[in-house]
Amino acid sequence: MLNIIKTIIILFFVFCFVNVSFTDVNSDLKNKKQELNKLHTDISNKKAEKNKLIKEEKKVKQELQKITKSIQSNEKELKSLKEKISDTEKKLQFASDMYNESDTSKQKYARIINEQYLSYTKKKVVSYFDEPMEFKIKQGYIKENSNKYNIAKDKNINAKSDINKYTSVKNEYEKLKNKQQSLMEKNKKLQKDKNSLLKTTAGKRVKAEQEIKDMNNSEKALKALVNKLMKASQNKDKTRKVQSSNTRKNNLPWPVNGKIVLNYGKNQHPDLDNAKYISNGIKIKAQDNSIIKSVEEGTVAFVGEFRSYGKMVIIDHKGNFFSFYCQLDKISVKENQKVIRQQDIAKLGSGEKSVLYFEIRQNNDPENPLLWLKERK
């Protein structure tokens, strides 16, 4: 009877334990689904930002085409105006030469006429009746030179009129040229600004595309690696005692002292406005050459360079529970080495290299490390 009672008690506790375990599993599964949905949403947002950048790039290119056409039109108009100004300057020079030549002729014939008229007047008073033919000849000279004077005078007046006309035309062309020149300079500045904007926009788009690609590729590769490590770990020890994950939550020591500079989950992109990106872990800025410690006992499952994670150490803590230590400078442990809690495993570099990327995964799903690490006071 006593044995039966003991058996019943044992079965009762086993049932409670199993029931609690299933409750924990269901709760964890629910959390995983929520985090997965969140990850999908964030990736969709990232893709939407990329599409937005593509539209902005297309719009800037269209504006650039309009500006380029306007500049080409400016250059064509400027070329035409320069030709017109050159042609007007030639006409102006010809009119100026004609003016100078006619003015010289006018003055020349005016002087000759004055001299002839003076000689004619004197002769007329003295001996008009003695030499009538001579007087008639002198009258003919005066009349001829007067005609030449009038012709030179008309040329001089016409040349002066042409000078005024071509000067006015040239000034008008100069104004139009300056206007086109100013417009072209304005368009070239716009073109330069749009090219800079296009370069920035295209650069951001390329960077966003590359980040999405790197995020997806790195995540897939890391998941494949962890799956491989999990399988290898399970094959090694199928009878091992698994520590409940709940006993670790808010109970793990920090891998290094420092300030969190990158949070788990959604973060603001440093270069793209209104763009977010996903981090599966946290970054801790520590002092130069800080020592990195294991947050829990376990077995070193991976040591080496891994994609964008840099030098990395992965520790298997059993129960499909892994911790990741990335962007290391020097590593002091080897694969398959057993480690204890707070054991030195690596070292950071200095300056920008004194930042640890730390990640925790359970069942190959990233967890927020702050839910597992001890709360700092």
* Mean predicted confidence (pLDDT) in 263-288: 78
| pTM for this entry | 0.47
- Name which CATH class applies to 63-201: mainly alpha
Q: What is the reported pLDDT for 328?
A: 96
Residue 265 is given by DSSP the state E
Pick the CATH number of 237-377 from 3.40.1370.10, 2.40.50.140, 3.90.1300.10, 2.70.70.10: 2.70.70.10
Rg (CA), the chain: 49
Question: 10 Å Cβ neighbour count for 131?
Answer: 13
Residue type, position 271, single letter: D
Q: What is the reported pLDDT for 111?
A: 84
Within 13 Å of residue 335, how many CA atoms lie on the same side as its CB? 8
Q: What is the reported pLDDT for 260?
A: 93
Every domain of the chain and the residues it spans: 63-201, 237-377
Q: Which is more confident, 339 or 44?
A: 339
